Structure 1
Amino acid sequence: MRTRWRARHVLAHQDGGHALLRDGEVVWEDDVIVYVGPRYDGPVDEDRDLGHSLVMPGLIDLDALTDVDHLVLDSWHGPEHGGGLQWSQDYFTHRRRDVFTPEERNTIREYALVQLALHGITTYMPIASEVHSAWAEPYDELVAMAETSRRLGLRGYLGPAYRSGVNVALPDGSRDVAFDEERGRAGLRDAVRFLDHLDKLSDPLLTGVLLPCRIETLTEELLRETAATARRRDVLVRLHALQGTVERDLVMDRHGMTPLELIGSTGLFGTRLLVPHTVLVDRHPDVHGEDRGDLAALARAGVSVVHCPQTSLRYGDVLHSFGTYRRAGINLCLGTDSFPPDLIRGMDVGVHLAKVVDGRLDAAPVEQYVEAATLGGARALGRADLGRLRAGAQADLVAFELGDIRDGVQDDPVRTFLLSGTARQATNSVVAGRPVLVDRGIPGVDLPALQERAQGLFEKMRAAYGERDVLRRDADTLFPPTFPPFRAGA
């Protein structure tokens, strides 16, 4: 079947990079683009005129929240509430449990994947909080999530997250990691089992990857086994690391080396490694405040940095800096890692944070962030057929509507969209030529009913923080309202 989209603006691919095409057309047959240009004269089976829209490659989110949003709670609190966001040692030893049933977890996954699609994301690699589970992510949950992803039609790079330990808050306010090493080994075995499961499915939209959790929650043994498995199975690894000073202190106390040195010593360099955040390198003011070779080491190892500017800002941190990482030869790609999964807002935040860090208005031009959200993600995945609109590429594309008066006047359509718009302007998307987002809706999904179920699950998640809190404070104490409630008759 041959389909054509026409739009006022098309972000096409030419001469190795993106190029703006006015009044452009994109034509695909089955799952492959066959034409991008100003006018297509051949026959088509389906024709859509998207009017005053920007059609661009589908967005690639490599740290995509597939959970009920927890940042709405935990990004507001200082040290006095921090203990309530982690497990207590007592909870780890005696009372840890799954907050949600398997059926509820499946609903959470569906809600999150629908949110990705509604925000124009076509390719994702998931991230979910383990704090609400008895340990990490079970095999069966990822099997169910893979089926949900197939039903919706998204392109996913999936695997159950696993860990050897969990961050715990101590009564004195300090942090530690409590370990259960056999659970970590079992988690890796389940991850390999899931790779086998996807191999048997043989679905081109689902690719197995290894997703170990945060570096401070992994033993050296588990890191080495992850690296060996990645080489043996030829799969990608994503590891959360270089995120903050607590992580750095815990790793140095346990291993006698920095997180970056630990990654290198365990053989993870050279495994096509993706590292989300990666803010705490030697250039960071909390480390040395100067370049002592960390960025060069990452670049030599071929590490892709998954930059999550909106989430970093919400936790009060930032890359030092986007332009410096890029000039060092590091492949930069993007992630959302929180709600909303809006890479448009994330790119806008990143562009302006870079100006503050580098002290210059041209520190990170918009086009470089767009490249990170498309071509950078494709490079991280080793996919030369993603992240670009050209003949021969996969038909993964998204349309954002630009004609609303609230969008303001237009200069360059991409720059104006990033400054004035959000990913909620996504109207249509296709993945491998199959419609995913259709006229702002997801076929077969009752969005109001899904929203109502998700709200109930959020309330359940919020209430469970109290039972894990080291001081056993209830959720209303941990998460007080912005303003006191109105008192009728006062």
Structure 2
Amino acid sequence: MTITVIKNASFVVGWDADHSRHTYIPGGDVAFEDGEIIFVGRGYEGPADETVHGAGRMVMPGLVNIHSHPSSEPLNKGFLDETGSPALYNSSLYEYMTILRPEPEAVADCVRVAYSELLLSGVTTLTDMSVSHPDWLDLAAQSGLRICLSPMFRSAAWGTRNGHLVEYQWDEKAGEKAMQQALDLIDKAEAHPSGRLSGMVSPSQIDTCTPDLIRESHAEAKRRGLPWQIHAAQSTVEFHEITRRHGLSPVQWLESLGVLGNSSIIGHGIFLDDYPRAGWHSRDDLSILAETGTSVAHCPTVFLRRGIAMKDFGRYRRAGVNIGLGTDTYPHNMLEEMRHVAYVARLMAESPRTLTTTDLFEAATVGGARALLRDDIGRLAPGCKADLVLVDVTHPMMQPVRDPVRSLIYAAAERAVDTVFVDGRRVVEGGRVVTLDYEEAALRLSEAQRRTEEIAPSRDYANRPVSAYSPLTFPLA
């Protein structure tokens, strides 16, 4: 057992248990014994096997990401930056993302790139919502991240054959089999010797899962004491599909199935019954989410690219909805995502007062922890996991440093992240990932993207080259 002490940090973002909030501690110390924090405050006088000089550093809790897709999204950089189906309300889900998917041999490098970007932006706990792949457990363990594996499964595949109608190909037995395979993988994660892997039960999307699959998966999650997450209220197409099938909004239909509650997470939750674009008659969804204790995973960047935004973060918080944050798309940069959360909320509310940086930081830490049913991450306090981030407050983009968390989120972002500890182990040092070869994986991924572009026309109903719907910024000379 070894004790590490970070001594006399310029700032420590500690946890005020009496008021249930983060607090700045100038000149603070943080001590941890292997994977557990044993002291947060000033004037630590206990033993130390290693002392880290904290001058010029802010020590803050590692960020908690409750929604991400590392096994696919990094490949989409340069493909989907400006792409949305005009006849499908500008979503890219149904026409383009089904075409532009990585080949199996590229998945591991997608994961390496995403995990690296997450570590460099201060994430220590990650919910990885992927389709199961052979390297998953090994890469998760190697990364050093605390990872909640969330293997997705569904009863139907979606797609379009004309660009304006979404069709569903149903195979209920395949969905049931995939759920069992997901549960088996979760068992392996929970038993992993690293002690950093856990599981979440995740039927993929509300419109691709049968009512039985949704209910049964939720019951299994409750039986195991695991969180449960489903993509819902994420597109205009989905909203209309669910109201057409059931006469209820997506949130109301999930409530009718009995699957909302404090262990449930709605991935995105943008298209509520009062969303202007939905044009629905009721106004109940926000109160349903709050009253049931259901969390929302908010990931604004991917929607901003399509001209879509939640209306708005502050409104959900004031209604009593727990919100956690995620990185649903590339780059997997949690600090940039937090900046987007703040700006788009204020834009949609037409007010700078709809959320504070306090609200934002809580969503990225204790709000995410609450959604994952944990109280030992997302805060710096004795007894919590030694998951923490050291930020270089002397970095020029952190200056002036009157309020270091604001300087980090609104200006410096990952450029000022110097060191990251997960479970007491250094996984980022000197601004470089030490557990994965980020640079080499990124180069290999570039080659894989070229292969995807060659294959894409054969997957497309219209056999179009990628340049037909995602042209380069400038023509090639």
TM-score (norm 1): 0.89
Distance (whole Å) between structure 1 residues aligned to residue 324 and residue 437 of structure 2: 32
Distance 1:314 1:57 in 2: 29
Q: Which runs of 4+ in 1 moved over 4 A?
A: 80-88, 96-99, 288-291
Residue 42 of structure 1 aligns with an amino acid whose one-letter code is G
Structure-2 change in CA distance of 1:327 and 1:181 (3 Å)? same
Conserved 8 A contact 1:85-1:469: no
Check the 8 A contact 1:122/1:154 in 2, yes or no.
Answer: yes
Amino acid at match of 1:54: M
Question: Is 2:457–2:466's contact at 8 Å kept on the other side of the alignment?
Answer: yes
In the alignment, is residue 267 of structure 1 matched against residue 245 of structure 2? no
C-alpha distance in 1, partners of 2:57/2:339?
19
Amino acid at match of 1:346: E
Change (3 A) 1:84 1:243: closer
1:28 is aligned to 32
- Deviation (angstroms), 1:365: 0.7
Partner of 2:85: 79
Contact 1:277 1:312 survives alignment (8 Å): no
Q: Does 2:56 align with 1:52? A: yes
Partner of 1:114: 116
Offset at residue 469 of structure 1 (A): 1.5
What's the % identity of the aligned pairs? 29
Q: 1:209 aligns with which of 200, 208, 230?
A: 200
Secondary structure in 2 matching 1:55: strand
Q: 1:419 to 1:85 in 2, by over 3 A?
A: closer
**Cα distance per residue 1:137-195 (max 9 Å; x no partner):** 24xx2x63122111221111113211111221132632222222222111111112123
Distance 1:484 1:113 in 2: 33
Contact residue 86 and residue 469 of structure 1 kept, 8 A? no
What's the CA shift for 1:71? 5.7
1:70 paired with 2:76, answer yes
Matches of 1:62 and 1:324, distance apart in 2:
20
Give, in whole Å, the separation in 2 of the partners of 1:282 and 1:381: 26
Partner residue of 2:175?
Answer: 184
- 60-69 vs 204-213, which deviates more? 60-69
Q: Kindly tell me: are residues 398 and 85 of structure 1, through their superposed partners in 2, closer, same or farther at Cα, counting changes over 3 Å?
A: same
1 CA distance for matches of 2:447 and 2:465?
18
Q: Gapped runs of 5+ residues in structure 1?
A: 129-136
Quickly say closer, same or farther: Cα 1:291–1:403, change in 2 above 3 A.
Answer: farther
Matched to 1:127, the amino acid is M
Find the counterpart in structure 2 of residue 40 from structure 1. 44
Residue 301 of structure 2 is aligned to residue 299 of structure 1: no
Distance of 1:363 and 1:223 partners within structure 2: 34
What SS does the corresponding residue of 1:274 show, helix, strand or coil?
Answer: strand
1:12 aligns with 2:14: yes
In structure 2, distance between residues paired with 1:368 and 1:291: 28
Distance 1:286 1:34, change over 3 A: same
Kindly indicate whether the alpha-carbon contact (under 8 Å) linking 1:99 and 1:464 is maintained by their aligned counterparts in 2: no
1:297-350 residue CA offsets vs partner (Å, 9 max, x unmatched):
011221111111222322222222211111111111111111222222222222
Say what the alpha-carbon RMSD is for the aligned residues.
Answer: 2.6
Q: Could you tell me which amino acid in structure 1 is paired with residue 30 of structure 2?
A: V
CA distance in 1 between partners of 2:80 and 2:141 (Å)? 32
362-371 or 245-254: which moved more? 245-254
Unaligned stretches of 5+ residues in structure 2: none
SS at match of 1:482: coil
Q: Is the 8 A contact 2:87 2:163 kept in 1?
A: no
CA distance, structure 2, for counterparts of residue 349 and residue 272 of structure 1: 26
Contact 2:67–2:328 (8 Å) recurs in 1: yes
Query: Whole-Å Cα distance in 2 between the matches of residues 59 and 18 of structure 1?
Result: 13
- SS of 1:73's partner is coil
Contact 2:122 2:389 in 1 (8 A): yes
- SS of 1:382's equivalent in the other structure is coil
Judge conservation of contact 1:283–1:292 (CA < 8 Å) in 2.
yes
- The equivalent residue for 1:100 is 103
Aligned partner of 1:420: which letter? A
User: Are 2:307 and 1:316 equivalent residues in the alignment?
Assistant: yes
Q: In structure 2, what is the Cα distance between the partners aligned to 1:474 and 1:98?
A: 15
